[in-house]
Amino acid sequence: MSFELPQLPYAMDALEPHISKETLEFHYGKHHKTYVDKLNGLVPGSEYEGKSLEDIIKSAPAGGVFNNAAQVWNHTFYWNCLSPNGGGEPTGAIADAIKSKWGSFEEFQKEFNDKAVNNFGSSWTWLVKNDDFSLEIVNTSNAGNPMTSGQRPVMTCDLWEHAYYIDYRNVRPNYLGGFWSLVNWDFINESFAV
């Protein structure tokens, strides 16, 4: 069984003007695809053959297999966190949970932005659900994924330079403005319900 590059849930130009077709051509078409290809070169004949991405992430030590499996999963999750019809304030259960934890969506967004802007280097910022169903904003570096700490990802923002450099150069706060215009609250609610 080999891993496949999943289809994007929208057209390559659907996230414009916030994320350009050119960014998706590189980010999805080259970076994400390379992680899939590398993983398919590492897994056959190993103890990870036949395992799901989540199983690999939870069991593999830091290194090539983990990095590529996590990056395939992280990127697939990230694409689903975005929608051309997204943005605005959250609705449903996630809206209630955010308000309960942070008092308002604006306070949640402020903390998320602060952690994302100050997350050093190639990284990810996540909204996660803990075992007690509480929410938390966490940062990971490189291919890090909160599942390795027993947390369930609910939403993520990719902070590797290839996620934003074509459109926003080195100005992460502007990229985050575009990110919030695309957040897919329907998918976030589905992730929160798991």
46-61 pLDDT, tens per residue?
999 999 999 999 999 9
Q: Are residues 105 and 182 in the same domain?
A: yes
In this prediction the pTM is: 0.98
The mean predicted confidence, pLDDT, of the chain is 97
- List phi, psi (to 5°) of 107: -70, -40
pLDDT at 182 over 80: yes
Q: Are residues 96 and 76 in the same domain?
A: no
Q: What's the CATH code of the domain at 135? A: 3.55.40.20
On whether both 65 and 109 belong to a single domain, the answer is no
pLDDT in tens, 126-169: 999 999 999 999 999 999 999 999 999 999 999 999 999 999 99
Residue 27 confidence (pLDDT): 98
Kindly indicate the confidence band of residue 72, based on its pLDDT and cuts at 50, 70 and 90: very high
Does the residue 86 lie in any domain? no
Q: Tell whether 99 and 175 lie within a shared domain.
A: yes
- Is the predicted pLDDT of residue 105 greater than 90, yes or no? yes
Residue 41 lies in a domain: yes
List phi, psi (to 5°) of 155. Answer: -155, 150
27 and 100 both lie in a single domain: no
Q: What is the pLDDT of residue 73?
A: 98
- How much is the pLDDT for 163? 98
Tell me the mean pLDDT in the region 166-188.
Answer: 98
Q: Which residues are annotated as a binding site?
A: 27, 75, 158, 162
pLDDT tops 80 at residue 99: yes
Q: Work out how many domains the chain is built from and give that number.
A: 2
Whole-number pLDDT of residue 54: 98
132/76 same-domain check: no
- Of the candidates 9, 160, 186, the residue with the CA atom closest to the CA atom of residue 94: 186
Q: Which segments are annotated as binding site for Mn(2+)?
A: 27, 75, 158, 162
In a domain, 87, yes or no: no
Could you tell me if 75 and 96 lie in one domain?
Answer: no
Residues 137 and 112 in one domain: yes
Given a cut of 80, whether residue 1 has pLDDT beyond it is: no
Average confidence (pLDDT) over 160-180:
97
- Of 29, 56, 80, the residue at which a domain comes to its end is 80
Same domain, 163 and 121: yes
- Parent domain of 187: 92-193
Residue at 7 is within a domain = no
If you write DSSP's letter for every residue of 103-123 in order, what string do you get? SSHHHHHHHHHHHHHTS-SSE
74 and 143 assigned to the same domain: no
pLDDT value, residue 109: 98
Reading the block at residue 193, the tokens are: 């319900």
**Given the structure tokens 């909204």, which residue do they identify?**
127
163 and 109 assigned to the same domain: yes
Considering the domain architecture, whether residues 153 and 112 belong to the same structural domain is answered as yes
